[in-house]
A and B are shown apart, each in its own frame.
Chain A
Amino acid sequence: MHSSEHSAHHPALAHHFQDLDQQKDATWLAMWVFLGTEIMFFGGLFLAYVIYRSSYPDAFAIASNALNVNMGLGNTFVLIISSFTMAMSVYSAQMAQTGRLVVFLILTLVLGCTFLSVKYFEYKDKFDSHLVPGRHFDFAHHHDPKTGAILEGAHGGSANTESTSHEAGHSEKARREIQIFFSLYFAMTGLHAFHMIIGAGLLIWLIVSSMKGRFSKEYNSPVELVGLYWHFVDIVWIFLFPLLYLIGRHHHG
């Protein structure tokens, strides 16, 4: 048994652990296992996405073009940089530089909130243009953000598809398929945003704790664990961005 005597009586050590090392290993492993659960949690949605995208490739390409790619790209930058500042927070905590730790944590929080604000405006835009699935969903009135032309269901952007029948029910079919894209878009980005909000809450808690000087060279697991969580949320977005925003861009670019 590793018993680092100097850490045996640390206030943060729970009674049933031998020493801080054992406690740290346990929490670290637990966090990774939890992230494994999270992968499968998002995995269900990714599976639905894969199935429907392979079933309705054209509708997905058209629908994807209705998203604001610049906002998506900007948010990707914001989130990646926030991951970097989070990593720097972990480094500062490990080096016991409390001042820098607080600064990096606040930066991370600010970037996270920036991401969420952009997301809010994107959602609002979708609400205004009837792109939220449900009774009021209506794609026919939607304008292509680049050309300004009205997108008419499956007629736009599917030049190379093999479906050539333009029956009366066709645009209704396209409407349903496009609606499924938006269902998945809202479910996936919504779940992601929900994780971001939890992450922001955790960051606030970390900022308060580190201002109180709770973290030291020996004990900084909370910063590391929230860091892992934050990076995981970043990874989810790294996949969401190309999957949702970048399909079939070359048809309209």
Chain B
Amino acid sequence: MSAHVIESKPLVVEHKEEQENYLTAGYTLKSWFLTLDHKRIAILYLLSVTTMFFVGGIFASLMRLELMTPQSDLFEPDNFNKLFTMHGIVMVFFFIIPAVPGVLGNFLLPLMIGAKDVAFPRLNLLSWYVYIVGAAFTMFTIVSGGVDTGWTFYTPYSTSSSQTHVVPVVLGLFITGFSSILTGLNFMVTIHRMRAPGLSWFRLPLMVWSIYATSIIQILGTPVIAVTLMMAALEKVLRIGIFDPNLGGDPVLFQHLFWFYSHPAVYIMIVPGMGVINEVVTCFSRRSIFGYRAIAFANVGFVVFSFVVWGHHMIVAGQSVYSALIFSILSYLVGIFSAIKVFNWTATMYKGSISFDTPMLYVFGFQGLFLIGGLTGLFLAALGFDVHVHDTYFVVAHFHYVMVGGLVMAFLAGIHFWWPKMFGKKYPESIAKFAMILVFAGFNLTFFPQFILGYLGMPRRYASYPDEFQVLNVMSTAGGSVLGLGFLLIAAYMVWSLVFGKKAGMNPWKATGLEWEHTTSPPPTENFYETPIVNEDPYNYANRDFTKDFNKEVKLGA
């Protein structure tokens, strides 16, 4: 043990675990629905985003079923339009964007920085309610017949032609946007103002840097989509002409405004996932992160560059070729920051003492799949290639590799990693490994054929296709079923573990970090028994004695 880690009067865990924790602090519905505790709000988010994930999953399954045969036999083309639209809306706005910040961010941020709560607990609860109201609008739309515009709501179709419920769903997303803004604002202020003594910026776990970067994007991007959707709704209801070419408006302007948010939104999705990877990869390699500052600043790079590449979504949409050129070059530059992170994670594992627990398996999955997703992104940033595969399954496969292969893998890594901290219970390890293999294999079987389909020219968003594409589509559907089974299995054993799981102990992974070493599992309502004082860098695995029992003592103060 190094001398500068002062272990004054550690607290023996046994006495503490009998005491109240945040889960036992109240059992009434009121104690949950009016809670100001960030950890309970995280659980509320976990329940709601999981629900939305399975709702979106049902839409995806129905689509894959339809695409088993070349004819549009299971659904009319009109209904197929609604299916992919609702799948996109639910997954993008109600699962991926709030998943990591809402669940892991809420649960971990105050714990990781040694605070009692986020800066504005009431605002935090409000964010969740705003999210629920937005989700309710969307659910209403689903029940009352759906929307068929695609999740992008491109004008003039959405404002002039579509006969479906565009306005309520747009309102729902407008409202949900504020949930995202308020969460970002809350987290940003929390990181600035609530850090424990001694926790300087470069001692923060990289997960916190990721959340910070995400917050900035949420704060600066989301209001733009809000005002854009507002204009689209006004256009639809009042015919004000801003986006309607018949009335002198320019539909491409809608795409500019839409992608000004929706491209950075991709980084709202993936950057916090990358944060999770930092924590897991160091723990299961027993090494300090390689290139801490490089990764920290790569987050800042994402913030800036995510906002200057939106035009690559519009290469064939009628923007000027010069603009397309600039956006193409800028899009290539974004790859630098992803590369910095991926190389550094790989270097972190080099000569590490790697163990293959489930969270680490998901990290491996993330590394491989994100690599494919990211590199095909570079293909798409090239003007000539983009013109060839634009609006084909190539694009679909690309963003599913980033979103599912990247973010969902990272989210599952995080959920498995911090599950013992959240509920004090261990999930069944061997079943979890099996489920991970199901998810990984099912995912690749689903989406790899789509790269080939897209390259061969199968356009996205159609219910029917030529016969020669059937083999690959059947493969994709088969993969989808495996993937779905994997997700269901995870949900089943996670719920099972809440009741039957083994007691986890405060630090089952022997990980570093305030949330593991300074408090019990589950933590008490105010997180720590005494405000921690930080006097070392994060991921200081070199300074830990792994022969010791990490589950016995809570560090107090320092």
- What is the CB-to-nearest-CB distance from B399 to chain A, in angstroms, rounded to a whole number? 24
Residue pair A30, B227 in contact (C-beta under 8 Å): no
List of A residues within 8 angstroms of B248 by Cβ: 56, 173, 176-177, 179-180
Given contacts A16-B115, A134-B240, A180-B241, contact A26 B193 (CB under 8 A): yes
* B window 237-291: CB within 8 A of A: 238-242, 247-250, 253, 256-257
Partner of A29, one of B193, B224, B226, B526: B193
List of B residues within 8 angstroms of A33 by Cβ: 185, 188-189, 219
Which residue of chain A is the closest to B120 with respect to CB atoms? A30
Partner of B240, one of A25, A36, A56, A187: A187
Taken together as a complex, chains A and B put the C-alpha atoms of A55 and B249 apart, in Å, by: 10
Taken together as a complex, chains A and B put the C-alpha atoms of A195 and B222 apart, in Å, by: 18
List of A residues within 8 angstroms of B249 by Cβ: 52, 180
Tell me what chain A mostly uses at the interface: helix, strand, loop, or mixed. helix
List the one stretch of A42-50, A94-102, A145-153 in contact with chain B.
A42-50
User: Is B194 positioned at the interface, with any CB of A under 8 Å from its CB?
Assistant: yes
Partner of B238, one of A38, A40, A52, A133: A133
Contact indicator per residue, chain B 106-119, by CB within 8 Å of chain A (1) or not (0): 00000000011101
* A window 162-183: CB within 8 A of B: 173, 176-177, 179-180, 183
- What is the CB-to-nearest-CB distance from B222 to chain A, in angstroms, rounded to a whole number? 7
By size class, the interface of chain B is 35 or more
Interface centre among A34, A36, A40 (most CB of B within 10 A): A40
Taken together as a complex, chains A and B put the C-alpha atoms of A186 and B241 apart, in Å, by: 13
Partner of B227, one of A44, A133, A176: A44
* B window 332-386: CB within 8 A of A: none
Residue pair A26, B224 in contact (C-beta under 8 Å): no
Given contacts A40-B224, A51-B250, A180-B247, contact A26 B119 (CB under 8 A): yes
List of A residues within 8 angstroms of B57 by Cβ: none
- What is the CB-to-nearest-CB distance from B156 to chain A, in angstroms, rounded to a whole number? 14
Residue pair A16, B121 in contact (C-beta under 8 Å): yes
Interface centre among A14, A15, A183 (most CB of B within 10 A): A183
* A window 1-54: CB within 8 A of B: 1, 14-16, 22, 25-26, 29-30, 33-34, 36-38, 40-45, 47-48, 51-52
- What is the CB-to-nearest-CB distance from B540 to chain A, in angstroms, rounded to a whole number? 23
User: Is B485 positioned at the interface, with any CB of A under 8 Å from its CB?
Assistant: no
By size class, the interface of chain A is 35 or more
User: Is B457 positioned at the interface, with any CB of A under 8 Å from its CB?
Assistant: no
Taken together as a complex, chains A and B put the C-alpha atoms of A135 and B253 apart, in Å, by: 23
List of A residues within 8 angstroms of B526 by Cβ: 16
Residue pair B223, A43 in contact (C-beta under 8 Å): yes
User: Is A202 positioned at the interface, with any CB of B under 8 Å from its CB?
Assistant: no
List of B residues within 8 angstroms of A186 by Cβ: 240
List of B residues within 8 angstroms of A29 by Cβ: 188-189, 192-193
Known contacts A16-B116, A33-B185, A52-B242, then 6 further A-B pairs from the complex at CB < 8 Å, ordered by chain A residue? A29-B192, A34-B185, A37-B220, A45-B231, A48-B242, A134-B238
Q: Could you list which residues of chain A lie within 8 angstroms of chain B, going by C-beta atoms?
A: 1, 14-16, 22, 25-26, 29-30, 33-34, 36-38, 40-45, 47-48, 51-52, 55-56, 133-135, 173, 176-177, 179-180, 183-184, 186-187
